[in-house]
Amino acid sequence: MLMLEEEVFAAIGEDGFQRLAAAFYRQVPTDNILGPMYPAHDLTGAEERLRDFLVGRFGGPMRYIEQRGHPRLRMRHAPFHINAAAKDRWLEIMSRALDEAALEPAADAVLRSFFHSTAEFLINRAD
């Protein structure tokens, strides 16, 4: 059965998004492509922002928008060198994070689809 995007939060709750964001950011510091993009002093903040963005995007409380305004993903990611290799690595790490978080299968499928299309959208370098 297909799940609508706005039903993901109801299916996995705050805890599911917390597990996912934590699993993702545990992998970032040692990654040779993504690690340099994330300031070591702000990994906790980055994890919270990802969690809050995903919670609001998928039917939960809109904390991200209340605190930071519209996500403006392309603008916020413009300073980073996001090419096909960075996109592929981000998706690889997020895929492992999804596996580790062990979310409800229909929610997992919705999130994987969203992450693939969004990662492609955020490419800002041709090399």
pLDDT, tens digit (0-9, with 9 covering 90-100), for 74-125: 778 778 889 999 999 999 999 999 999 999 999 999 999 999 999 999 999 8
> What does the alpha-carbon distance between residue 18 and residue 63 come to, in Å, rounded to a whole number?
14
Q: What is the pLDDT of residues 16-71, one digit of tens each?
A: 999 999 999 999 999 999 999 988 888 999 999 999 999 999 999 999 888 887 87
11: pLDDT strictly greater than 90: yes
Q: Walk me through the domains of the chain, giving residue ranges and CATH numbers.
A: 5-121 (1.10.490.10)
- pTM of the shown model: 0.91
